[in-house]
Amino acid sequence: MKKIISAAIAGIVVLSSAFAKPDKGKEDSMYRLNPLPYQYSALEPVLDAQTLMYHHDKHQAAYVNNLNAALQKEPNFNHKPALVDLISDLDSVPESIREAVRNNGGGVFNHEFYWNGLTPNKPEIPKILSEALCQSFGSVENFKSQMAAAAVGVFGSGWAWLCLDPSTGKLKIVKTRNQDTPMNCSCQCAKGLIPIFCIDVWEHAYYLQYKNLRAKYLESIWDIVDWEKICRRYCAALKDKSILM
């Protein structure tokens, strides 16, 4: 994966060097829990402070801790320090910890990607992204409907993703189960896709506030989507296949 992005998106951090970096200050910890990019209450009323606190401080923290614990069981495994590279190449991970790295490494990646696709600032959809959504789905509203339908349709726990297919330049919606990502999902429909936005539909993402009403959560989430961030991710994916935070 390239580490340098184009001048048009200069200053944006490349995901492979920004997500869950090794914590060199602790010998017993390989990765750290990065803080949320906003205050716990920043996304209210769509997502309340209690939901964010439990989601980030408990659930995501557990994934970080479990990933570190798994890697410590194989001290001779010279793993890739960038989490996105680690979970994209699971075949290189020792079989004894491969499933733990898949589940917990995916849990860290997915959550950070999700948090960084949300904002309290209510930006407008940039024209370049709007045009891309219209080209792929007919309209922005059609995209929202199809994305929500995919998310509602995830059986049990998982994620809905908006991805770029670099072979066609089109945007696609895919689903992954549990903590799989488009980079390591066994489903052929996600092979080679570059993620640019995701929605968490594990119950802990919404249950404290919305209870069993997953569809209501998905209806509300559009008010906190960071369209500018998604556009920057889209441009990077088009330009040099970078995955951005």
Residues of the chain with CATH 1.10.287.990: 15-36+45-115
pLDDT tens track for 160-169? 999 999 989 9
Residues of the chain with CATH 3.55.40.20: 127-240
Q: How confident is the model at residue 20 (pLDDT cuts 50, 70, 90)?
A: low
Confidence band, pLDDT 50/70/90 cuts, at residue 210: very high
Q: What angle do CA 205, 223, 215 make, to 5 degrees?
A: 50
Can you tell me the mean pLDDT for 54-75? 96
Asked if residues 70 and 99 have their Cβ atoms less than 8 Å apart, the reply is no
User: How many angstroms separate the CA atoms of 229 and 234, rounded?
Assistant: 9
Q: Does domain 15-36+45-115 have CATH number 1.10.287.990?
A: yes
Q: What is the CATH number of domain 127-240?
A: 3.55.40.20
Model pTM greater than 0.85?
A: yes
Rg of the chain over Cα atoms, rounded to whole angstroms, equals 17
